[in-house]
Every structure is written in C-alpha cells, then in structure tokens.
Amino acid sequence: MFNDIVSIILFNTVQGLKENFTFNWKSPFVILGQFTLLALESIGIGLTGGVFSSLMFKHGRCLTHSPIVETIMLFLIAFGSYFLSEFFELSGIISLLTCGITMAHYTWYNLSPQGKTISSVTFSILGSAAEALVFSYIGLCVFTYSKGDDGQLEDDTYVWSPSFIVILTSIIIVGRLIGVWSVHFLLSLC
C-alpha cells in the first residue's frame, strides 16, 4: 500500500504543478513540499473521518440497533472523506484508505456483533466486485482502439511505444531492486 500511496500522491503533485511550472534548482524542493503537504492534508481528512465514525458509534449507541444502518453509516462516512478530499483537490484515495484503516482499528470495536458481520461481508463483496470490474475494464480497453480507413489509429495519443515500455519497465525493475536490497540491508543491521 505504501508504494501505491506514494505513487498516487506524487502523480497528484506533479499534475498540480504542470501548468506554468519551469524546472530549476528549486524544483525538487517545491515538489517535495507539495508532496508532503498533499499527503498530510489527505491523511488528515481520512483520520478525521475515521475518528469521527469511532466517536459517533461509541457515544451514539442508538446507531448500533440496526446492522444495516451501521453499514450504511460506515459507507457514507468513508465516502464523505473521499469526496471532501476531492473537493479540496487533494487525494481522495489516500483519504479513503486512511479513513478505512482508522475505522478498522477503532470503529470496528464499537459496532454491534451483527453490524461487524454484515459490514465485513458487504465490504468484501463490494471490494471483490470492484476489483473484478477494474481488471475486466483494463483488459477490454486493449481491444477498443479503433483504426481509421488508412489502418492508423484515429487518435495519435494512443500509439504504443515499445521503447518507452522497455525503458519504464527497466526503471521500475532497477528501482525496485535498489529499494528491496537497501531495505534488506538496513533490516539485516538490526
């Protein structure tokens, strides 16, 4: 998850800086500052949503009489943190993930036994269905590129570049090797 979080926040940071941005010696510090700010703000909104749900279910025992209401409230609070982050142009995915982790650690213990079972099953089903849809969509997108009368793709932005794919794959493998070996070395020192 940490790898996904870093890549999402870094993408959002660079996406936010792409207009009217010139690269100079201060640029890495600007990117690092924006990265840190975006991460902290997104995590803060997620933590706020998770703590709010925990306190709400702990002190509002009237909410734990129906497992359906409990599950819907969990869903709405988590989505609320996502939409609030997106509204402020932060990372909604990071807020949602942080809210979910906080809810799993704190809100879970304030649910009724039936609420724990139903919410667990409901979110497992929704997660599996979403994962299947995403992989199906990605697989089907490969075959949806249309070709014009001349046999060329209609939109030049979707042309495959074998050299780009090889270079990026090499960078990913080398970066992963450096990351794994350096962490392994540091852990072996302990």
Domain chopping of the chain, boundaries = 2-145
- Note the pLDDT tens digit of each residue in 31-66: 888 888 988 999 999 999 999 999 998 988 787 788
Residue ranges in the chain assigned as alpha helix (H)? 2-17, 27-59, 67-87, 92-102, 113-141, 162-189
d(CA 145, CA 8): 26
In 3D space, the residue among 100, 95, 43 whose CA is nearest the CA of residue 74 turns out to be: 100
pLDDT band at 100 (very low <50, low <70, confident <90, very high): very high
For residue 111, the tally of other CB atoms under 10 A from its CB is 23
- When computed from its CA atoms, the radius of gyration of the chain, rounded to whole angstroms, is 22
- Note the pLDDT tens digit of each residue in 6-24: 787 778 777 777 777 777 8
In 3D space, the residue among 164, 165, 146 whose CA is nearest the CA of residue 155 turns out to be: 146
